[in-house]
Structure formats: C-alpha cells, structure tokens
C-alpha cells in the first residue's frame, strides 16, 4: 500500500510499504477514506525526530471502511463505516473504565513511562503505524472504532478521531461558568474548534489569540473576540484584562503547545535537539526544559485569580521552569493531557447532524490526495495558503 512515512526532520515521503494484516483475533483492517493532518504531526516534523525512525507511518486522525475483521470481532463488519480514535485503548481496563483512555493500562508504553499508545506517534507512544495510509490495522475492533452512519461526507465525522474530542476535553477541563469568559490561545484546528464548542455550550465571552491573519478571521466570523498576538505581544495579558473588568478570563485554553511563537531561548534548545544524534538528543529532551513556554506563561498571566488553565497543546520537556509562585498565589487550577477520545464521543455525536452547529462540514480548508501529503506538511508548518485543516484522501 501507499503510506506517508517520516524520513527525517522536515522530510516526509509517500512510499510503498507492506499492507497491514490481522495479528490478533480482535483486530480489524480499515481502508482509509480520509485522514487529517494535525498540529501534533508538526511536532514530529520538527522537534520530536529523536523518537522516530525513518519509515515510521504517520497519521492519527483517520476514518474509513472496515475491510477485514479478526475472528473474534462482532461489533463491526466488513463494509461498516468507522472513525478511529487516536488513542489505542482497550476499552476494558481500570483507566478505560474511568474514561481515561489516554492512560489505558493495556497499551501504556511502560518502557518510556508514557500513557496509552497512539497511532502514528513516536516510540514514546508505542511506534504504532499510523493512518495517513491506504490501510490501517486497528486493535480492539470490538470497542475502539466508532461506527458512523452512511450518507454525509467524511468531513462530518472524521474529526471524532481527534479534533472534536480534544477540543471538547479542553472546554470541559476549562470549566467556564455559565455565561463566563474564556481565552483560547492558538486558533489552529484545536483552538478554533474549542472556541466553537465553548460558545455552543454557553460561554459568554470567548477571546481568541493567534498571529496568523486568516486564522484570526476564521474565528472572528464565528463570534470569537480575536486579538492578534503581533499587535499586543507582551501586553496581551493587559489586553485580556481590559476586556474582563481588569480580572482576566475565568479560564484559558492553551491550544499552542511546545512550539509557541515567541520562545527564543528554548527555540535554540529545540534547534540543538534537531541537530544532535538521536540518543544524545533524547537525553537532552529527557533532562532539560526544551519547550517554548510563551503560550503557557501567557495563560498563567491572563487567567483570573482562582481561574482554570486547560492545556491541550502538547509539551515535551522534562524540567521546564514554571512560575510556581505566581501559579500558587493566583490559586490557579491546571488541567491537561492527551484527549480521552472514546470518552467524549457520545456527547459529541448528537451535534454531528445536518444543522451542523459546530461547522464541521466546512472546517477543512484543504482536501488533498495522499500523494500531496509532503507538500501539505510543508504548507501547514509555514501556515501558508490559508491552510488550517487538511484531509488527505488515500
């Protein structure tokens, strides 16, 4: 089959690789019809290279048609239409029972002390082949895939794999009081969707921050009060306080993560990681603070006292310095983590109807063939051509 593979820093290629096969009796093989490119894939493209090997298949936002089922699969059949959550979670362990699928004890990557395995996401997360490919092997065929109806286009359902549950969890963890205020840092797919969900669920004011004009425009068109980071820079916290009676917003979502604009010192560290041989780079990442923290620091600054910071952006350093004095003094609540995808699906599915309250049908800015994947990664990283969300079609 054809698959998009990682080859090195800023180097992904579509190659011919062996087709996946059923290995366990509950496996299914899915013929992929749509597969998203995520901001998390950009971390693989740039910073997390030491944890990848040339040839690793990327992609964790796929959907498609069940092609084959293992002998013990009863929940889906060949021909069913399914979305695949990005956590590889068993659906039956202590963690899955509590809705913490990102911590699944059956697939935790203990060698690296990591939570549940993820599709297409580095050795830290199990080096599981991903879904930017023609076919994908999906374990736990009775509990993991989400069966969706025939009819509407893939765009209606594909974001159940990641964007929707991640944004939903970000809003849930932000715990905005009814009619309250929220700042969303980063208006990529995750921040944009989180802002939409927060407004849909009754937030009074949603402020969105980014530095890419078309992303700001896109959010503004849906009722978000946008602030351009380039205009405010270090004055961003004051700008947010000016809009909220001098207090800051009740909650802040960090939908930026480790490659934030504005963190020059750590940018040098990330650059060094990119240049070192893999084992040395891994040591540096595991012992040093390599994250560009400007978004997280801005969140701590602009949240009101007693408010909540909800982090969905991915961070990767082991000893990043945080302003604990300020965090303690402001009595901040901090929640974070990979999305527990399967957990939020029942709450979200009723919104994926023709009325389309979250605007999923028009959410993708680009639909491209898998063969154009390498170009799409480059364009997405550079934030050119109005690209916010790309769906690849194998």
CB-nearer residue toward Zn ion: 84 or 212: 84
Structure tokens at 313: 């952006």
CB-nearer residue toward ligand NAD: 28 or 195: 195
Task: Please report how close the Cβ of residue 296 comes to Zn ion at its closest, in angstroms.
Answer: 19
Task: Please report how close the Cβ of residue 377 comes to Zn ion at its closest, in angstroms.
Answer: 13
Binding site for ligand NAD (CB under 6 A): 38-40, 42-43, 162, 166, 185-191, 209-212, 215, 229, 255-257, 260-262, 294-295, 312-314, 338-339
Q: Which residues of 73-110 are buried (b: 16+ CB within 10 A; e: fewer)?
A: bebbeeebbbbbbbbbbbeebebbeeebbbbbbbbbbe
The residue among 64, 77, 104, 69 whose CA lies nearest residue 343 is 104
CB-nearer residue toward ligand NAD: 2 or 123: 123
Instruction: Quote the DSSP letter at residue 370.
Output: G
Rounded to a whole number, what is the largest CA-CA distance in the chain?
A: 62
The binder of 96, among ligand NAD, Zn ion, none, by C-beta within 5 to 8 A per type, is Zn ion
CB-nearer residue toward Zn ion: 38 or 193: 38
Torsion 83-23-113-47 (CA) sign: negative
CB-nearer residue toward Zn ion: 189 or 269: 189
Binding site for Zn ion (CB under 5 A): 38, 40, 89-90, 93, 96, 104, 106, 162
Structure tokens at 232: 């405010």
What's phi and psi for 373, nearest 5 deg? -55, -50
Instruction: Quote the DSSP letter at residue 32.
Output: E
The binder of 132, among Zn ion, ligand NAD, none, by C-beta within 5 to 8 A per type, is none
CB-nearer residue toward ligand NAD: 76 or 83: 83
Strands (E), 43-96: 62-69, 81-83
Task: Please report how close the Cβ of residue 193 comes to ligand NAD at its closest, in angstroms.
Answer: 8
Alpha carbons 308 and 99: distance in angstroms, whole number: 21
CB-nearer residue toward Zn ion: 167 or 199: 167
Chain-centre distance of CA 292, in angstroms?
17
Only one residue has tokens 């820093």, namely: 9
Q: Which residue sits closest to ligand NAD, CB atoms considered?
A: 39
Cα–Cα–Cα angle for 258, 205, 361, rounded to 5 degrees: 70
Task: Please report how close the Cβ of residue 295 comes to Zn ion at its closest, in angstroms.
Answer: 17
Task: Please report how close the Cβ of residue 140 comes to ligand NAD at its closest, in angstroms.
Answer: 19
CB-nearer residue toward ligand NAD: 73 or 229: 229
Alpha carbons 241 and 187: distance in angstroms, whole number: 20
Task: Please report how close the Cβ of residue 38 comes to Zn ion at its closest, in angstroms.
Answer: 3
Q: For the chain, what is the total number of helices (H) and then of strands (E)?
A: 13, 15
Strands (E), the chain: 2-8, 11-16, 28-37, 62-69, 81-83, 135-138, 146-147, 181-185, 205-210, 225-228, 249-254, 303-311, 333-336, 366-369, 390-393
CB-nearer residue toward Zn ion: 90 or 345: 90
The binder of 188, among ligand NAD, Zn ion, none, by C-beta within 5 to 8 A per type, is ligand NAD
CB-nearer residue toward Zn ion: 125 or 239: 125
The binder of 270, among ligand NAD, Zn ion, none, by C-beta within 5 to 8 A per type, is none
Tally Cβ neighbours within 10 Å of residue 3. Answer: 30
Task: Please report how close the Cβ of residue 191 comes to ligand NAD at its closest, in angstroms.
Answer: 6
The binder of 83, among Zn ion, ligand NAD, none, by C-beta within 5 to 8 A per type, is none
First to last CA, the chain: 10
Task: Please report how close the Cβ of residue 93 comes to Zn ion at its closest, in angstroms.
Answer: 3
Task: Please report how close the Cβ of residue 350 comes to ligand NAD at its closest, in angstroms.
Answer: 22
The binder of 314, among ligand NAD, Zn ion, none, by C-beta within 5 to 8 A per type, is ligand NAD
The binder of 295, among Zn ion, ligand NAD, none, by C-beta within 5 to 8 A per type, is ligand NAD
The binder of 90, among Zn ion, ligand NAD, none, by C-beta within 5 to 8 A per type, is Zn ion
Task: Please report how close the Cβ of residue 1 comes to ligand NAD at its closest, in angstroms.
Answer: 25
The binder of 226, among Zn ion, ligand NAD, none, by C-beta within 5 to 8 A per type, is none
The residue among 301, 283, 233 whose CA lies nearest residue 263 is 233
């Amino acid at each position: 089959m054809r698959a998009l593979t990682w080859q090195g820093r800023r180097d992904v290629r579509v190659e011919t690789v062996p087709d996946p096969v059923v290995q366990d009796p509950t496996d299914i093989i899915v013929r992929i019809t749509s597969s998203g490119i995520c901001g998390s894939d950009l971390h693989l493209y740039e910073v997390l290279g030491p944890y990848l090997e040339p040839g690793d298949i990327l992609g964790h936002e796929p959907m498609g048609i069940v092609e084959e089922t293992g002998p013990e699969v009863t929940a889906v059949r060949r021909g069913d239409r399914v979305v695949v959550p990005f956590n590889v979670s068993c659906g039956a362990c202590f963690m899955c029972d509590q809705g913490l699928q990102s911590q699944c004890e059956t697939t935790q990557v203990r060698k690296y002390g990591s939570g549940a395995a993820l599709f297409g996401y580095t050795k830290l997360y199990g080096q599981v082949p991903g879904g930017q490919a023609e076919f994908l092997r999906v374990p736990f065929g009775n509990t993991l895939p989400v069966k969706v109806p025939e009819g509407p286009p893939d765009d209606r359902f594909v974001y159940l794999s990641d964007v929707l549950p991640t944004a939903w969890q970000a809003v849930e963890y932000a715990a905005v009081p009814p009619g309250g205020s929220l700042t969303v840092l980063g208006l990529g797919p995750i921040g944009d969707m989180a802002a939409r969900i927060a407004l849909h669920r009754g937030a009074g004011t949603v402020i969105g921050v980014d530095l890419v004009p078309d992303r700001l425009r896109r959010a503004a068109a849906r009722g978000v009060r946008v602030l351009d980071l380039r205009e405010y820079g270090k004055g961003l916290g004051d700008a947010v306080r000016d809009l909220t009676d001098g207090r800051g917003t009740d909650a802040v979502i960090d939908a930026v993560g480790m490659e934030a604009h504005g963190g020059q010192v750590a940018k040098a560290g990330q650059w060094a990681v990119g240049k070192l041989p893999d084992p040395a780079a891994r040591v540096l990442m595991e012992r040093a603070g390599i994250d560009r923290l400007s978004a997280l620091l801005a969140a701590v600054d602009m949240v009101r006292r007693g408010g909540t910071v909800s982090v969905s952006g991915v961070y990767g350093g082991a000893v990043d310095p945080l302003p604990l004095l300020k965090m303690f003094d402001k009595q901040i609540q901090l929640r974070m983590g990979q999305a527990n995808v399967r957990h939020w699906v029942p709450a979200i599915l009723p919104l994926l109807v023709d009325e389309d309250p979250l605007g999923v049908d028009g959410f993708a800015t680009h639909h491209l063939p898998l063969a154009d994947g390498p170009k799409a990664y480059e364009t997405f990283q550079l934030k050119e051509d109005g690209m916010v969300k790309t769906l690849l079609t194998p």
